[in-house]
Amino acid sequence: MSLRDLVYTISPSWLRATVGSRLMYAMTIPFDALEDLAAYAVRARFPDLAPTDAWPYIERDRQIMRGTWELAPAWLARCRQWLDRWAHAGSPWGLLMGARACLSPYLCPVSLVTSIGTWDGYLLSQQDGPTVEPIHSTTAANWNWDEYSWPWINQNGAWNRAWLIIWPVGTPWTQSTQTWGDGSTWDAGELWDIAGGTAAQFTQLLAAVTLWKSAFTWIPAVIITWNGTDFGNAGQGAQPDGHYGTWSKIVPGIYGRPTRVASRYAGAAYLAGVT
């Protein structure tokens, strides 16, 4: 029963007459409104009942950041799963889910490979989630990022490294066709190697990696590649050859003269990693 109905019910007959009842109505209706607002204020903390301008607060409270393209129902579902998802923080599982959220709703293939050749990943169109474990495989010593670029790093046992590989199938991210000296304007807001994306999207991706990775893991690079057969977990396609620690390497050129060439496969983009 609303307050205005209650007041009418308990009012003496002289207050139920024309003027009295209208006056009481005008006086009590603000309190009915306040009661409704209080109920909404309580509900506003629950993701599914919250007004949209409350979402940023829920996002920060639960540390479940909404991806650039992520649809509201998917993000709301993740918000309900926040504790289940946080239970995986620091593991490859948690990191892959965090990266996948930045790509949602596109269910792109993603993999995480460690320096000792353990692989975890989700396949194209495979749903991820706190109860859907990524596919795990081990192919020892099939990943050689920088053995020749930084031999001392490898010798010092930087075994706690992992690389995130994303095949952005279906996303607006495409490989840039621009080349150095093609007449483009410097600092015009475009990204090197990637078209269709914004710097903010990749900042968000790296922030997600930082948030969800283990404190003990160093991600030297995030690889975005457009050829589905490259960087395969069985060693198929393009693979790092131990010179990927730097952007260029020296190889024998004409007449055996040392020549500097790009060290990394040009069919992919490489985001600077995070510690």
Chain residues in the site for another protein (CB under 8 A): 19, 22-23, 25-27, 29-31, 34, 37-38, 40-42, 44-45, 49-54, 57-58, 60-63, 82-83, 86-91, 94, 152-153, 156-161, 210-216, 218, 275
Closest CB 149 distance from another protein, rounded Å? 13
Closest distance of CB 251 from another protein, Å: 26
- Asked if 242 contacts 144 with a C-beta cutoff of 8 angstroms, the reply is yes
Which two structure tokens, joined as six digits, stand for 76? 């709301």
Question: What is the smallest separation between the CB atom of 6 and another protein, expressed in angstroms?
Answer: 16
Cβ distance to another protein smaller for residue 58 or 224: 58
Q: What is d(CA 163, CA 273) in angstroms, rounded to the nearest whole number?
A: 8
CB-wise, 127 or 155, nearer to another protein?
155
10 versus 19: smaller Cβ distance to another protein: 19
Q: Could you tell me which of 247, 229, 246, 226 has the C-alpha nearest to residue 238?
A: 229
Which of 106/120 has CB closer to another protein? Answer: 120
Give least dist CB 51 to another protein, A: 5
The answer to whether the beta carbons of residues 271 and 221 sit under 8 Å apart is: yes
Nearer to another protein, 75 or 167 (CB): 75
- Least separation in angstroms between CB 53 and another protein: 5
Minimum Å distance from CB 223 to another protein? Answer: 18
Position 250, amino acid:
I
Residue 102: partners with Cβ closer than 8 Å, 6 or more residues away = 67, 68, 201, 204, 205, 208
Nearer to another protein, 25 or 226 (CB): 25
Minimum Å distance from CB 98 to another protein? 11
Of 62 and 80, the one with the shorter C-beta distance to another protein is 62
Nearest approach in angstroms of CB 44 to another protein is 6
Half-sphere exposure of 54 (CA within 13 A, CB side): 15
- Start-to-end CA distance of the chain, whole Å, equals 59
Closer Cβ to another protein, 17 or 124, answer by number:
17
Q: Which amino acid is at 10?
A: I
Tokens found for residue 139: 């192919």
Q: Which whole-number Å values give the CA distances from 79 to 65, 72, 200, in the listed order?
A: 9, 10, 22
HSE at residue 121, side-chain half, CA atoms within 13 A, is 25
Distance, CA of 130 to CA of 173 (rounded, Å): 26
Task: Give the residue among 148, 142, 86, 155 at the shortest CA–CA distance from 111.
Answer: 142
